[in-house]
Chains A and B, each alone.
Chain A
């Protein structure tokens, strides 16, 4: 034993060498297993002893889980793909640029070098950027288990509440899927106390505009509730309207009413709702200009 303090509590460390091995460990363990991906949330929690797993299952050496694929049908990102790698991927940049923008708001480059897309989504922090974009894009998460094989679930089923998803204890997230359909464009923007912090409010917007008229809109917000929320009144108000500065103002106004929010140590609920509205109008302005 070393004569120095250990921050995490003791655990058994298992470095899985394949998806099958990881799933077997998850299926057979009777103790509490924590999957270790980027470790940028899990190891923090263990250092603070807010998490005290009996087993840490390291998936970093599992081959085949870090794939990055993007084309005009969207981006399919392997759970172990690092944020920093996806951020620099040329095909993601071309087909799903909003994903690059959203990733750029996760912490700092040093943190993104380790952060994985699967870990980020599995962690389900209610202020986290990617769950919001996933909600806006009607994205899905693929899960696998030893006994039941693979299943793909929509964002609405996946995200349940703060740090809580529909993932069963024996399941591994294997990929996160951001689908694109013809005519849709997406964008993300947020306000954080400092660059790199979790956002006070972060808005994702999707628009399908034809001949200057908004055919369909999708708007989601993170940082305001226990999971990403879609602003359906804002979406409904935009459909069929001219994509104009007046519409952006209207949408912002509705967002400020519809968006849930509560007070916390940083800002008031009122301020959060105001930020959500401002972000909606900023995104509208930039997306309509770019059209």
Chain B
């Protein structure tokens, strides 16, 4: 059947088990925002270019606009909401705050998840700044303060 939410999925989003019925064509990004209600994951280009929608699927940073919700059945998904809260920022979020690594903040959730994923995968700061950060478009900052924030986060040497 098409156009009906006829696919049953069970996934773990930010450590919470989520069971849902989705259409085949439901994008992971829309599933997270509209079905799960986690609007921290932003969408802009919806064809993989901008990086705003980046989340972790089984610890790997991926574009959630280029995955179907049906594909995360049995997987673990982490979104920006898994980091700190407004009153208790994670070390990476604190570093972004301290270094003024954002202006409008639209690109920020995706960048945070890429950096978090890089850290979990054991990448060094150079790999994150030189290879992974270019996978994100930021219209505001000019990137320098984001780089400073990532460097300061990695310099802390602590695990979030």
Q: A43 to B64, alpha carbons, bound, how many Å? A: 11
Among the interface residues A10, A13, A15, A48, which one has the most CB atoms of the partner chain B within 10 A?
A13
Interface of B is mostly: mixed
Say yes or no: is A281 at the interface (Cβ < 8 Å to chain B): no
Size of the B side of the interface (Cβ < 8 Å), in residues, is: 35
Complex contact A110–B135 (CB within 8 A): yes
| Range of interface residues on A (Cβ < 8 Å) | 35 or more
With A and B bound together, what is the CA distance between A2 and B30 in angstroms?
A: 11
Q: Which of B25, B26, B67, B134 has the most CB of A within 10 A?
A: B25
User: B38 in the interface, Cβ–Cβ < 8 Å?
Assistant: no
A114 close to B47 (CB less than 8 A): no
Q: Complex formed: what's the CA distance from A36 to B63 in Å? A: 15
Known: A44-B48, A194-B134. 8 other contacts (CB 8 A): A10-B3, A10-B25, A43-B48, A48-B47, A110-B51, A110-B132, A110-B135, A113-B60
Contact B5 A47 (CB under 8 A): no
Using CB atoms and an 8 Å cutoff, list the residues of chain A in contact with chain B. Answer: 1-2, 4, 6-13, 15, 36, 39-40, 43-44, 46-48, 54, 56, 58, 60, 84, 107-111, 113-114, 194-196
Nearest chain B CB to A163's CB is how many angstroms away?
A: 16
Give the A-binding residues of B (Cβ under 8 A): 1-5, 7, 23-27, 30, 34-35, 46-48, 51, 54, 60-63, 65-68, 70-71, 114, 118, 131-132, 134-135
Chain A residues lying within 8 Å of B46, measured Cβ to Cβ, are: 7, 47
Q: How far is the CA of A53 from the CA of B70 in the complex (A)?
A: 16
Which listed residue, A1, A40, A60, A195, touches B66 by the CB 8 Å rule? Answer: A40
Interface SS, A side: loop
